[in-house]
Amino acid sequence: MNDKEISEIRRRYKVEKSGISRVRGCYVNEKRDIISELDQSLGLMTETEASEVLALLKKTLSGKVGTNLLDIAFSTSQVTDSDEYRLLTRLRSSSLTDNEAVHDFYQKVIGSLNMEGNYMILLAYDSYDVFSYHKDGGKSEDSGEIFSYILCTICPVNMAKPSLSYYVRDNCFRNIVADSVVAPPALGFMFPSFDDRATNLYGALYYTRSIEDSHEEFVDAVFHSGRLPMPAAEQKASFKTILAESAGEGCILPVVRSVRAQLCQAVEDHKASKDPEPLVMDKYALRDMLSFSGIPDTGLDTFEQSFDKTFGTGAEVSPHNIADTRRFEVRTPDVTIKVNPEKADLVETKIIDGVPYILIRAEGGAEVNGIDVKFEE
């Protein structure tokens, strides 16, 4: 799924637009026991409560494609005959009314998910009457198809701390006791996918809030569809290692700055093009960037071999996952320097009298703890 398709589904998570009539779920404690279940109608909630529930579910469709939102692909054999696909289909085809399927799903999640503390599993069913477009680009009243799907959201549940509150009407202070608070989703998924604005029974969209941990144990149990892409944080660390090894002694500031600048430019160009498909790059595109930055052919060969070994042959990565596009930082064991990314060329590295230095061109003066300082000759 791309950003445009995800946004189209996200826009439905408003009280006046949503086709979600009820939400099912269960509360799981630290011992991995279900201590309560819910089957609640949004129509019986206040508008504020219903809006908050929909906003919570909506967060499962948030984040960056390729980083937080990952496509899951099912094989033909899975769709034809597999336990995991059969369970997802039962949940969807019954609109979550199949109690046995719902409880089987709860147990599958509880038995696989590695998450500390209490959490809540929420399930919602939605049926979307997908509108079509006229030739002139306007919306048509005629429906293209009905897209029905389930959304699963798993939220940590934390205990709020007791606090003192002032009650205006009673003109007095009172203690607010500790209570359970549902946190934003840690992970979840939508099944099936909404690709090309149509139902794709061979896909699902998986959400993970953490860029360090994708909860592959959950993905394997629920989808059993192969390995997820490497977590974004691990991709970034791996790329930095590969770049340093490939450049070797030539891993100097101008080289690193040039590679980062090219990745940032690729992101900006993609954004300006308004291409709904996520931006990804293979090893050949990245090799060209490294070559342009001055890394020799021997280093480029090392890069290709290391890339295949780390990410896999034929793999593609998102520039968002391997570069700090919004930050430029120079760090030593004792000092950290944060620079406006657009002014990265103000920083230089030099060796003076055998001592390594970081030099910063101080245009417009300098302050130390808010005090203007003068420059010595």
Q: Each residue of 161-197: pLDDT tens digit?
A: 777 777 777 777 777 666 778 899 999 999 999 998 8
CA 119, CA 30: separation in Å to the nearest integer? Answer: 8
pLDDT at 185: 95
What is the DSSP annotation of 126-146? EEEEEEEE-TTSPEEEEEEEE
* 18 band by pLDDT with thresholds 50, 70 and 90: confident
Mean pLDDT (the chain, rounded): 89
pLDDT at 375: 86
pLDDT at 101: 96
pLDDT at 91: 96
CA distances to 122, 189, 279 from 218, in Å: 15, 11, 27
pLDDT at 142: 63
pLDDT at 46: 87
CA 330, CA 7: separation in Å to the nearest integer? Answer: 36
Location of structure tokens 């059969």: 86
Q: Each residue of 243-279: pLDDT tens digit?
A: 999 999 999 999 999 999 999 999 999 989 988 888 9
CA 313, CA 304: separation in Å to the nearest integer? Answer: 10
* 376 band by pLDDT with thresholds 50, 70 and 90: confident
